């Protein structure tokens, strides 16, 4: 638990307020080595980690679940990045980690082009398999449910790296200690925050979404 709180405290220096969320507080030139606008979502990219630090987007409740694009893209290298800072799908081969989406494909499957954009490797981080396949997806499902219920919802995904992270692949991709998701609609007074440690030491059957929920004030004020 203390380790989890340490990870959470690392986030707080970058957070201001969710009551009137301004993405410029997160996605800016100070926090991001490069900002990549994929139109459907925005990536704050970290050259040292060779991965995203933040990924933000807004979902339209009328589009979410309206269409189910069955065709899924292959992962592809983000050519907008300088070559030496790119990650490649082969970096994950036999690494023990999944290619985990931050902007998840299921939230964008109203349009084939939007789905393809989520498969850029700039949107992918090394995720523990159980977390990626069984637990993190519950928070992803919630964002779609809230979008439909409220008409729209904004989502900010954040990634927590240590000062000396484990690395995988030829390109030495940093493995996050954890990651989080903020789901909010300021106009409707809705906000929920979830934090996940990036390891498979989890009882999937016993895991509940609420077990990952944290008070947004913890992220903001500590």
* Mean per-residue pLDDT pooled into runs of 10, the chain (222 residues): 48 42 86 97 98 97 84 92 98 98 94 94 98 97 97 96 97 96 95 95 94 77 36
């933040």: which residue's tokens?
54
Query: Alpha carbon of 216 to those of 15, 57, 79, 95: distances in Å?
Result: 10, 18, 35, 33
pTM over cut 0.75: yes
- Can you name the residues that pair with 195 across neighbouring β-strands? 180
pLDDT at 215: 82
The architecture in CATH of the region 2-221 reads 3-Layer(aba) Sandwich (3.40)
Domain map (residue ranges) of the chain: 2-221
At a CB cut-off of 8 Å and minimum separation 6, what does 85 contact?
33, 34, 45, 47, 50
């Amino acid at each position: 638990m203390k380790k989890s709180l340490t990870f959470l405290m690392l986030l707080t220096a970058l957070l201001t307020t969710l009551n009137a969320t301004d993405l410029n507080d997160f996605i800016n030139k100070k926090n991001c080595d490069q900002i990549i606008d994929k139109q459907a979502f925005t990536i704050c990219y970290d050259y040292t980690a060779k991965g995203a630090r933040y990924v933000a987007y807004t979902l339209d409740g009328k589009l979410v679940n309206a269409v189910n694009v069955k065709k899924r893209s292959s992962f592809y290298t983000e050519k907008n990045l300088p070559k030496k800072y790119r990650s490649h799908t082969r970096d994950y081969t036999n690494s023990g980690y999944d290619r985990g989406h931050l902007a998840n494909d299921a939230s964008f499957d109203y349009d084939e082009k939007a789905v393809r954009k989520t498969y850029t490797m700039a949107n992918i981080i090394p995720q523990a398999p159980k977390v990626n396949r069984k637990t993190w997806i519950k928070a992803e499902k919630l964002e779609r449910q809230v979008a439909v219920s409220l008409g729209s919802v904004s989502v900010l995904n954040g990634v927590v790296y240590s000062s000396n992270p484990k690395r995988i692949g030829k390109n030495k991709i940093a493995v996050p200690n954890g990651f989080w998701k903020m789901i909010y609609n300021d106009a409707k007074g809705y906000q929920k925050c979830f934090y996940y440690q990036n390891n498979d030491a989890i009882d999937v059957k016993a895991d509940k979404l609420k077990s990952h929920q944290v008070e947004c004030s913890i992220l903001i004020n500590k």
